[in-house]
Structure 1
């Protein structure tokens, strides 16, 4: 018998609470019983494993967001010098539902008497009944059995990050977090509920670092400063509450509403779209000095104003470029030769525009100012025009552009909007080019491939529009299956057999499905696409290539040296390449965005 060991465990269990209203776990007292290398399996069999004391702290504090009135009632206990087992009748209230439950827990202790392993054996079907979910959903770590928020964070590092954010928000607000949900996005983001001392609830949103080297402005504090300035000048944006240094994150108001316009009638959509344009036009009239004081670069001279986006994005592109990019280099050459030099007035621009939330017929906030800068205000019209393909603005772009001109008193300049459509699509393609050619572990690979193929198609369409060259698509015989179809079917089946817990992990599971589907199309058609692309390049350049991999380097060299007389031939080459690829991949979940590219008329 290990009486000291039993006391260690019983003291730890007592620190979870006595079950009365207002009782909360004493986190530091609980943690003092555990070794740094603790491993806690939340339930056996199949439950997630929390590894490390920092991750354990994060898991406890996360559960505190929705579970109250904890009480651990030990019926029997037995022990040795290195092992303690308890039979318990525990109790808690899970989001208002009383949840009495029985379990057996096993604790292994190290040579210092600290708990280094913890496993809990409990009847998840019993919990499912008490939660009111079907028994069929009770097997294993299914999200509806215990509660979505009872799933472990996706990694110990993520658990530590979330715990730090919780601590920061509670220090910042002086309140208590009662709910924290990580959003299933490809960049870290959370929605939180914070209970204040007076009983009121504050809704917050945390915007974390994007991760990877894919942003021209990687300092997240820059966006926080911009939002603060915009709010002070009356632009509808989320209020900033604070900035967390470790991990880097913006804490702002959670703004109610949606970007989706599908449930609205035509008049409602039109009203919202015009409210958005009014906010954009007002933003373009703001004084620039406050932004310059915060470190936002102000372009000097007409070329600098026209090429502000390129100036911002080019260092990122140059730094990360690992393979030749002939299409991008061709677009860059055309843009540098055709700057609209009569545009002399810079404005503060969102740059990645067209993003707003609405509720009850009113625009609540403009959001996402990560890429904001000072440049030509028509750059915002161009990027909103691009976004209209997949996030409709609410009214046809031509009517919104005319309305913008009415508000600002400026004449319509469709050729400048075309120019900036090409510029924005080009710098966006530059931004993600290396993520596909040189992927990094942890990247949202499906998202980056989707961006890459869609943006390259927009570049080609915008070039054709600016150059006055009609679009055309060559016929292509599509094979449905490739030589590895059976292996890909096995891979798909293996992915389907994985047990997935939590919405965030389900989003990653969906990403794997997308990649497998895309890989299937590549298996069927990539060899034929490469054969046709090599044939076309050899015809244009007048030389033979021993390997497909040699083509892009030769094309990039030619693009940089060729004069404007080759513009149309090069454009048709790149057009044929991307249109064929969309024929092959456009029916997949990843390629779907590219298949719907259709730049709306400007006037």
Structure 2
């Protein structure tokens, strides 16, 4: 019976799952992920167990792309392709929920031994080459637009994220990077194919040295295959899992398997695009402060990705960045520190369940960040206001006003100061990463691998 489990799923969800599975729910656990998902087992009268992975949209209506419904359509279309994707066992329009096959394996390739990393990556590249070889017209994905030009490939997703951001956040980094993407569309376009749109380590499962399933298809769309290679760069940044010589051998193997050249300038462009898509999405999510979301993890991703966006831009532009001095303040005993210590040392040991402990640990990190922001924030704001004034010609009274002034300056153009602007935006990104250090340390020391 579903009532045996502690959950907040929408009414009717557990009854639907039990009906689809033909039995009773015997396992129902919230999965630790950035997008809501649940691990579900249904035991049938003959004692066989149906193992599912539940994905749902609480707010969505499934009418557009980047939704759970879109993801389910893509996976269903790929079922006969030979690509390793989880089967979709059932879809519920009213609940906007999909029951996926639960595939064996793990996703943390960065924690595998080097030998297994190499064999898994080889298998993944074969899967990616197969994906990119599929004829777009044969997949039956009529709800998706098939672009025909380089600009349509490069900017289709950017138009979506701009709409996603509208009215939520004013940030000169976002304005600068979106303008850069529009002004530097890569020219070579050998072909258009189906892309996973967010592909690479942690978005595929592996087991015994092989890919067991490619997962997370909500960003799937048609476009330039170089975009997926840029996505690999971005995801490998978080899940380093290639040899010391970097991603170059991976891309050369892709060329051999696909029969098409890898354009490294396009890969660099799409690496920027992936991070820009990430920071815009994360900005909106972190401004909402939805308690259903993994807020500490999203803050960590946001500020690490902002710094990575600057570094990816610098590499694409041929600009050298200089890391700023990062101020420290004395972290004397505080009420926030007391709360964080209570949660960590007294409450956590008494909490059962991986998801609940995960939430509790991250809540403590957020409290530490609030303490750090209260102590260090004013000092950093003074630094930002001084540096912003060098571009705008006036010193704003508040950091919020200063950022709005700088955003207007970026929108007004000034290509002659583009490199100088990027250097400032990178310094600001490093300072924000430093300010939010307790959550950023969930993913310490993230750097790019070589791509040539």
Structure 1 length as normaliser, TM-score?
Answer: 0.69
Q: Which residue of 2 aligns with 1:323?
A: 169
In 2, distance between residues paired with 1:580 and 1:58? Answer: 47
In 2, distance between residues paired with 1:256 and 1:276? Answer: 16
Q: Which residue of 2 aligns with 1:522?
A: 373
Number of positions where the alignment pairs a residue of Structure 1 with one of Structure 2: 444
In 1, distance between residues paired with 2:59 and 2:376? Answer: 33
Is the CA contact 1:346–1:376 (under 8 Å) kept in the aligned structure 2?
Answer: yes
Q: Which residue of 1 aligns with 2:188?
A: 342
In 2, distance between residues paired with 1:441 and 1:256? Answer: 30
How big is the shift at 1:356? Answer: 1.2
Matched, 1:360 2:304: no
Q: Which residue of 1 aligns with 2:28?
A: 180
Superposition RMSD in Å: 2.4
Is the CA contact 2:268–2:312 (under 8 Å) kept in the aligned structure 1?
Answer: yes
List aligned pairs for 1:67-216, cutoff 5 A: 152-153=6-7, 158=8, 161=10, 164-209=12-57
Higher RCO structure (Cα 8 Å, ≥6 apart): 2
What 5-or-longer segments of structure 1 have no aligned partner? 1-56, 63-151
Q: Which residue of 1 aligns with 2:116?
A: 268
Larger helix percent: 2
How big is the shift at 1:197? Answer: 4.5
What are the Cα deviations for residues 23-45 of structure 1, in whole angstroms up to 9, with x where unaligned? xxxxxxxxxxxxxxxxxxxxxxx
How big is the shift at 1:234? Answer: 1.2
Q: Select between 535-544 and 433-442 the one with higher mean Cα deviation.
A: 433-442
The 3 A distance-change label for structure 1 pair 494 and 345 is: same
Larger strand percent: 1
What secondary structure, in the 3-state scheme, does the structure 2 residue paired with 1:374 have? strand
Is the CA contact 1:453–1:594 (under 8 Å) kept in the aligned structure 2?
Answer: no
In 2, distance between residues paired with 1:575 and 1:291? Answer: 42
What secondary structure, in the 3-state scheme, does the structure 1 residue paired with 2:134 have? coil
The 3 A distance-change label for structure 1 pair 295 and 287 is: same
The 3 A distance-change label for structure 1 pair 359 and 227 is: same
Q: Which residue of 2 aligns with 1:602?
A: 451
The 3 A distance-change label for structure 1 pair 559 and 515 is: same
Is the CA contact 1:177–1:193 (under 8 Å) kept in the aligned structure 2?
Answer: yes
How big is the shift at 1:594? Answer: 6.5
In 2, distance between residues paired with 1:365 and 1:58? Answer: 29
The 3 A distance-change label for structure 1 pair 173 and 440 is: closer
In 1, distance between residues paired with 2:36 and 2:434? Answer: 33
What are the Cα deviations for residues 437-475 of structure 1, in whole angstroms up to 9, with x where unaligned? 443454432122112101111110111111101121122
How big is the shift at 1:256? Answer: 0.6
What secondary structure, in the 3-state scheme, does the structure 1 residue paired with 2:78 have? helix
What 5-or-longer segments of structure 2 have no aligned partner? none
Is the CA contact 2:31–2:39 (under 8 Å) kept in the aligned structure 1?
Answer: yes
Structure 2 length as normaliser, TM-score?
Answer: 0.91
Is the CA contact 1:225–1:294 (under 8 Å) kept in the aligned structure 2?
Answer: no
In 1, distance between residues paired with 2:86 and 2:310? Answer: 35
Matched, 1:446 2:296: yes
In 1, distance between residues paired with 2:288 and 2:56? Answer: 24
In 1, distance between residues paired with 2:299 and 2:113? Answer: 34
In 1, distance between residues paired with 2:430 and 2:69? Answer: 40
- Greater gyration radius: 1
